[in-house]
Structure 1
Amino acid sequence: MDLDFVCRHAGRPATALTRRDVARALLAVPSGVALVALPDLRRALMSVGNPLTLPFWESTRAALASIESGAATVGDVQRWIESTGTEPILMTPSYFVWPEEDERGPVAQEMHDLLVAHLEERVRAGEIDPDALASGDQRARRAYEELQERWLATPLPDGRVPGFSVSDEQDEEMFSAWDEEEAFALSELRRVMAGLPKQPELPVAELDRAATRLRALLAAAGYPGNVLRACAGLDEAMPDDDAELWLTVAAGIAGPVADLPEEALLLEEFADLDREVSLEDEMLAHLCAIQHADWLAAVAALARTGPGVLASPERIARLIAESEDVDVDEHDAGDLTATESLFEPVVALWACLGIVDDSGVLTPLGWWGLPQALERAWSPGD
């Protein structure tokens, strides 16, 4: 750990090194090594005319000593490197969060580099005081945060807004990964269904009864109609065909299309962050939290077994844990309890569609419809 190492790590000559460059290089080696190297590194920088400042060296020694003793938290280390004056704040007051360095896409890396360059310009212009940041000056910290907030919200010469550009890239990456996972789950579902010795047949009488009840529920105010409408993305118009309506709603349970309409909430309730989460919101959150693999394991197991099998939340959790269709680690009691909790609203909504009966047992309608509903939920464009 010497000056040459810092220059190589930063990609700059010694005369151009910033506090951030030195701090990042010191964090790249064990804290004990960094502490030992600190005096020689300071003398080497002084000899090339880039001495930095006493507050920086004091804060650096204190930070490294805290890391070495095990007292420093991740937040402490992040705050220290941000106090160099040219490190973008990991999470701004408006809750913009930079991706971790090894998880940044090309756009996020470009914007991060541009912000670093912008902060370096502001330091040279005297608008940022790194020594005040290093000493913990709260006014300097607020000004530092506000400066970055403004930059993130200000269009670049090419029209891109940095904060939005980074968020859009993260959304695209998330959706792409989701689509890949969904496509794989769909192919596995089709493989499982193709291997069944007997394909389920549509129980017409059961569908007629279930559709009649479903239309009444969807037309009524409140739960469970509001949740079923949100899951399926239905407005006032509903499909005339019973099978189409039933499959649309059943697919929506596996892949909710919309949230509950905000107009259903009083404005003062919506603005109250401390208000209790409604039953409907909690149910939708549970549905959205279920992974593709869990849906696949549950529906595949039920399809193989057929009507008459218990499909309670407890049984579904066990079926998922024991599934041979997905790769899962051994589940402990906590995993089973969590999975059971997620599937409680599923089974409750399944009962509204006649997928399970009042005892939580899979019906012929559920045997026929669940695989088709899951395929519909995972098929592009549906």
Structure 2
Amino acid sequence: MDLDFVCRHAGRLATALTRRDVALALLAVPSGVALVAMPELRRALMGAGNPLSLPFWESAKATLSSIESGAATVGEVQRWLESTGSEPILLTPGYFVWPEEDERGPVAGEMFDLLVRFLEDEIEAGRIDPDALARDEPGARRAFEELQERWLNSPLPDGRVPGHAVSDEQDEELFAAWDEEEAFALAELRRIVSELPEQPELPEAELERAVARLRDILELPGYPGNVLRACAGFGERAVPEDDRELWIAVLAGIAGPVSDLVDPGEEEFGDLDAGLGQDDAALAGLCEIQHADWLAAVAALARMGPGVLASPERIARLIAESEDIDIEVEEDEDDLATTELLFLPVVYLWGELGVVDDGDVLTRLGWWGLPKALERAWSPAE
């Protein structure tokens, strides 16, 4: 490692190298190599008229020595890199988090580079003191954090607000990945259902009894009616008159909740330390279940048919043993317990809809309706 290496790594001439450029180059090689090369690198920069500063070199030696001894943490190394004055803070006081370099989209990459250039200009103008940052002076650190917070929340000349632009891009990427996963799961569900040796028929009498009970539940305040209304989105649209449409809509909502709770709880602003209530916890749990878990559970129940046990513990086992999902799943007791816990409210709500009976056994109505409801939940909205 020498000055030429640092210049190539930074893409700059020796006279234009910043503390950040040198720090990144030092971190790009083994710490032992960097420590050995640092004295000569420092002399070469002095000869080029760009000596940097004593606090920088002292902080670099301390950090690299800590890395070499195995004592340095990732956070400590990141903080040292930020102390160069032109490295964006990974986590700001306002809880903005930059994506990892290999996970940044075009917008995040552009905004990151713009912030680096802005910070370099601030150093040049004397509004950032990298030596004070290298000495870990609290006041300098606070000012550095506040400066970046303001930049992230201030419009650029083109009107974009950097922090919002990055967050919007991340949201778009997340939604796109979710849609792709959902489309794949839907295709697999349809394939599995089409291969069933026997296609279930709608048990009209069971549906009539289940919907009569469901309509009563939806009229009542509190759990589980408020959760079922939120799942189906009935706070935003009317309850369907058609029995079949109503039942399928609610069952589909359990697999893909449409909205948040609409019933304000009496203690909504009471004890904030008391944790989630039963209804909030149930809805949050439903939202945590992955497409693969729903697919594995419903596919197994559809193949086995009515009369099979569909308890939370049994569903967790079916998911762990499933060959329908292309992921590595180990039958670890902790993993099974987590899956079982997530499906506790599912099976309870299934019981309210007649999907399972009082003994958590799959009914003929549940056998008929689960695949249809899952297909509804995963189908694009018209």
Normalized against structure 1, the TM-score is what? 0.97
Return the alpha-carbon distance in structure 2 between the equivalents of residues 138 and 268 of structure 1. 36
Contact 1:321 1:328 in 2 (8 A): no
CA distance in 2 between counterparts of 1:279 and 1:119 reads: 48
Quick one: distance in 2 between partners of 1:41 and 1:214?
75
Q: 1:322 — aligned with what?
A: 321
- Paired residue type of 1:225: G
Residue pairs, 1:227-376, within 5 angstroms: 227-235=227-235, 237-261=238-262, 263-264=264-265, 268-269=269-270, 272=272, 274-329=273-328, 330-376=330-376
Which residue number corresponds to residue 37 of structure 2?
37
Query: 1:5: which partner in 2?
Result: 5
Shift of 1:148: 0.5
Instruction: State how 1:168-247 maps to structure 2 within 5 Å.
Output: 168-235=168-235, 237-247=238-248
The aligned amino acid for 2:250 is V
CA distance in structure 1 between the partners assigned to 2:45 and 2:76 by the alignment: 26
Q: Report the alpha carbon displacement of residue 131 of structure 1 after superposing the two structures with TM.
A: 0.6
Q: Quick one: which amino acid aligns to residue 311 of structure 2?
A: S
Residue 109 (structure 1) shift:
0.2
Cα 1:167/1:269, change in 2 over 3 Å: farther
* Cα-Cα RMSD: 1.3
Q: Shift of residue 282 of structure 1?
A: 1.3
Q: Deviations over 1:208-264 (max 9, x none)?
A: 111111111111100001111111111272010111111111011101111223844
- State the one-letter code of the partner of 2:19: R
Q: Distance in 1 between matches of 2:161 and 2:55?
A: 35
Q: Provide the C-alpha distance between the structure 2 equivalents of 1:332 and 1:309, rounded to a whole number of angstroms.
A: 24
Provide the C-alpha distance between the structure 1 equivalents of 2:51 and 2:19, rounded to a whole number of angstroms: 10
Q: 2:21 & 2:263 partners in 1: Cα distance?
A: 48
SS at match of 1:268: coil
1:63 matches 2:67? no
> 93-102 vs 228-237, which deviates more?
228-237
Q: Which runs of 5+ in 1 are unaligned?
A: none
* Deviation of 1:338 (Å): 1.2
| 28-37 vs 181-190, greater mean Cα deviation | 28-37
Letter in 1 for 2:310: A
Counterparts of 1:31 and 1:261 in 2: how far apart (Å)?
56
Residue by residue over 1:1-54, the C-alpha shift from the partner in whole angstroms, topping out at 9 and shown as x without a partner, is: 111111111111111111111111111111111111111111111110000000
| Greater Cα shift, 197-206 or 276-285 | 276-285
Query: Aligned partners of 1:146 and 1:242: how far apart in 2?
Result: 57
Moved over 4 A (4+): none
> Which residue does the alignment assign to 1:97?
97
Report the counterpart of residue 76 of structure 2 in structure 1. 76
How many percent identity over aligned positions? Answer: 73
How far did 1:72 drift? Answer: 0.8
Instruction: Write the letter of the residue equivalent to 1:202.
Output: L
Partner of 1:159: 159
**Any unmatched runs of 5+ in structure 2?**
none
Q: Is the 8 A contact 1:290 1:342 kept in 2?
A: yes
How many angstroms apart in 1 are the aligned matches of 2:364 and 2:244?
14
In 2, distance between residues paired with 1:184 and 1:83?
Answer: 45
Amino acid aligned to 1:363: T
In 1, Cα distance between the equivalents of 2:42 and 2:283? Answer: 57
Match in the other structure for 2:379:
379
Q: Secondary structure of 2:269's match?
A: helix
Paired residues of 1:303 and 1:371 also in contact (CA < 8 A): yes
**1:155-213: CA deviation from partner (whole Å, max 9, x where unpaired):** 11111000000000000000000000000000000000000011111111111111111
Displacement, 1:347?
0.5
Name whichever of 34-43 and 100-109 sits farther off.
34-43
Q: Does the alignment pair 1:87 with 2:83?
A: no
Equivalent AA in structure 1 for residue 204 of structure 2: V
Identify if the C-alpha distance between structure 1 residues 308 and 71 changes in structure 2 by more than 3 Å, giving closer, same or farther: same
Letter of the 2:249 counterpart: T
TM-score scaled by length of structure 2: 0.97
One-letter amino acid of the structure 2 residue matched with residue 137 of structure 1: E
Structure 2 CA distance for aligned equivalents of residues 359 and 139 of structure 1: 64
Alpha-carbon distance in structure 2 between the residues aligned to 1:332 and 1:319? 13
Counterpart CA distance in 2 for 1:319 and 1:289 is: 18
Amino acid at match of 2:39: P
The residue aligned with 2:112 is 112
Task: Please state how far the C-alpha of 1:341 moved relative to its aligned partner.
Answer: 1.0
CA contact (8 A) 2:306 2:363 kept: yes
CA distance in 2, matches of 1:265, 1:91: 36
